[in-house]
Amino acid sequence: MKKLTLLIDDDLYEALHKGVGRGNIGRFIADKVRPHLPAANDAAQTSAFGMLATLAKPVTAKLMAQAKRDYLQKRYARKLTQ
C-alpha cells in the first residue's frame, strides 16, 4: 500500500470525516475509484495473459538458430546495399 496526499475542499473533508470516519477515508476513496481504472481490472489482465499464453509458441534450438541466421542475413544484406 502507498500513501497519497490529496488537497480537497474543507467542506468535502468534513463530510468524509463525519460520514466515513477518519481512519476509513482512504479505503472509501480507493473503493470508489478502483472500478474506473482499467489497470485495476483483474479480469482484463488475466485474459490478456491467457491470450499471450495461447499465442506463444515453444522455441527449439533449431528455430532459434534459424531465426539468428535470418536476422544476420537481413542485417548484413542491408548494410551492403546502403
Q: 79: which 3 cell numbers?
A: 548494410
Kindly tell me if the per-residue pLDDT of 19 is higher than 90. Answer: yes
Question: Where along the chain do its domains lie?
Answer: 1-40
Kindly tell me if the per-residue pLDDT of 40 is higher than 80. Answer: no
pTM for the model stands at 0.44
Ramachandran region, residue 30 (left: φ > 0; alpha: ψ -120 to 50; beta: rest): alpha
Residue pLDDT, tens place only, 67-80: 888 878 887 776 65
